[in-house]
């Protein structure tokens, strides 16, 4: 379960090369569960 107090979801992770990366989702006017699910699914495809 996630709770948002704003319109932003941020994810940080390390790539296979050891570098750090960040992704940010800004959903306006409110952060929607469907948008967060799509954001997470897209992040899982990154290699």
Rounded to 5 degrees, φ, ψ at 46 are -75, 140
pLDDT score for 19: 93
CA distance linking residue 30 with residue 13, whole number of Å: 24
Tokens standing for residue 39: 């954001």
pLDDT score for 8: 87
pLDDT score for 15: 86
Q: pLDDT tens, 1-47?
A: 556 677 888 899 888 899 999 999 988 888 888 998 999 999 888 87
Of the CA atoms within 13 Å of residue 45, those in its CB half-sphere come to 5
Q: Where are the domains of the chain?
A: 8-44
């Amino acid at each position: 379960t996630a709770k948002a107090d704003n319109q932003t979801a941020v994810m940080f992770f390390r790539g296979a090369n050891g570098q750090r990366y960040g992704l940010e989702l800004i959903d306006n006017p409110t952060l929607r569960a469907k948008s967060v699910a799509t954001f997470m699914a897209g992040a899982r495809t990154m290699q």
